[in-house]
Amino acid sequence: MFKPEKTIQQDRSVAIWLLVCCGLVFCMVVLGGVTRLTGSGLSMTDWRPLMGWLPPFTNAEWQRVFDLYQQSPEFLKINYHMDVSAFKGIFWLEYLHRLLGRIIGIAFLVPFLFFSIKGYIKTSELPKYLLMFILGGLQGVLGWYMVKSGLIDNPYVSQYRLSAHLSAAFIIYAYMFWVAMSLLFPAKGTQRHPWYAKSLFVTALTSITIVSGGFVAGLKAGKIYNTFPLMGDSFIPPGTMALKPYWRNFFENMTTVQFDHRILAIFTFIVIVGFWIKSRKADLPARSKPAINALLHTAILQVALGISTLLMAVPIFLGSSHQAVAMILFTISLYILHSLRRV
């Protein structure tokens, strides 16, 4: 369908704004990983979404915040030796993580109001963007719900809530990215490409593998069986079905959770390699093939990072890089899927 040049420029402006928001969410996910890996996530024991913009400035304010932290299970059971000076080291990362969340909210809301008033966003499209904003707000609530789980008795957050928080970030990111791509690359036809289903499978499998990685992170399951390809002395380690009922093992058993993530990651990589091989002779849209090449190269990097992270018992740099590249891999798979949606 023909669009006037003015409309094309307006759509491009909205798309760029959404992609900037995607970039901020990407940074948020990576910073969240660093916060988790450094043990900083439970340093702020209260949640003030509207009034918590400013960090402590005076010694009295720092002491007040530290007094709150001293009542937490993490301090009482793990960091009981910590003083105010050491506390500041873990406080700043969590503070920056929460601050970035607020910045994302403003970076979304202000341009959204501007584009709405100026007519860049059609009235019929407004619910789509309002949903994005609501999901972002709910993600903040979910983040606090996750942190709260580590402030009661156990000084570790629930792996269920952590995985939900991570999954929600990816859903919001995917929603904004998809809308941005639709503005930049309007549909040319009404029929899905025959390869759409294959691409959807790759995207779904990548997503499931990422969610399983969230459970690995939540349980700190990467700290055990730091060998590859075997787990200890065997391919399937003992104790994988130790918990009852058996379904709990897939979410609560460190051994099983790591084993599942390994299998999913290997299977996803094999599927991506097969997807790439078959694409060489397939009749695909012009922008699909370079993206499939990028998908393969990113998958190779991700596998290398995953194995290295495991062998080195999850150092901060490798662990956060592994999470970042997972999001890049997810982005490329989404891009390919979008290129095949209606051609």
User: What is the 3 state secondary structure string of 161-217?
Assistant: HHHHHHHHHHHHHHHHHHHHHHHHCCCCCCCCCCCHHHHHHHHHHHHHHHHHHHHHH
Q: Region 300-310: what's the mean pLDDT?
A: 98
pLDDT one-digit tens code per residue, 276-285: 999 999 999 9
**Is the pLDDT reported for residue 340 higher than 70?**
yes
pLDDT score, position 261: 98
Which of 144, 171, 186 is at the close of a domain?
186
Match 């939540």 to its residue by tokens.
218
Q: Do both 178 and 197 map to the same domain? A: no
Q: Do both 182 and 192 map to the same domain? A: no
Q: Do both 219 and 174 map to the same domain? A: no
pLDDT one-digit tens code per residue, 2-47: 567 778 899 999 999 999 999 999 999 999 999 999 999 999 998 8
Look up residue 254 and give its amino acid: M
Q: Do both 158 and 196 map to the same domain? A: no
Q: Do both 97 and 139 map to the same domain? A: yes
User: Residue 343 and residue 340: Cα distance in Å, rounded?
Assistant: 6
User: Residue 289 and residue 291: Cα distance in Å, rounded?
Assistant: 5
Which of 186, 215, 238 is at the close of a domain?
186
**Is the pLDDT reported for residue 51 higher than 80?**
no
Which of 159, 186, 213 is at the close of a domain?
186
User: Residue 122 and residue 179: Cα distance in Å, rounded?
Assistant: 13
Percent over 90 (pLDDT), the chain: 92
pLDDT score, position 189: 77
Please state the domain count of the chain: 2
pTM reported for the whole predicted model: 0.95
Q: Do both 142 and 220 map to the same domain? A: no
For residue 275, what is the enclosing H or E element? helix 254-279
Q: Do both 55 and 118 map to the same domain? A: yes
Q: Do both 248 and 338 map to the same domain? A: yes
Phi–psi pair at 297, nearest 5 degrees: -60, -40
pLDDT score, position 60: 95
State the residue range of the domain holding 121: 1-186
pLDDT one-digit tens code per residue, 225-248: 999 999 999 999 999 999 999 999
Q: Region 45-62: what's the mean pLDDT?
A: 87
Q: Do both 118 and 157 map to the same domain? A: yes
User: Which one has a higher pLDDT value, 47 or 322?
Assistant: 322
- Sorting pLDDT into bands at 50, 70 and 90, what band is 187? confident
- Sorting pLDDT into bands at 50, 70 and 90, what band is 48? confident
Look up residue 231 and give its amino acid: M
Say which range, 131-135, 156-160, 188-192, 336-340, has the weakest mean pLDDT.
188-192
Q: Region 295-314: what's the mean pLDDT?
A: 98
Percent over 70 (pLDDT), the chain: 98
Bridge partners (DSSP) listed for residue 234: 231
**Is the pLDDT reported for residue 1 higher than 70?**
no
Q: Region 154-183: what's the mean pLDDT?
A: 96
Q: Do both 303 and 159 map to the same domain? A: no
Closest CA to 305 of 293, 287, 286, 320: 320
Q: Do both 8 and 122 map to the same domain? A: yes
pLDDT one-digit tens code per residue, 92-122: 999 999 999 999 999 999 999 999 999 999 9
Q: Do both 311 and 266 map to the same domain? A: yes
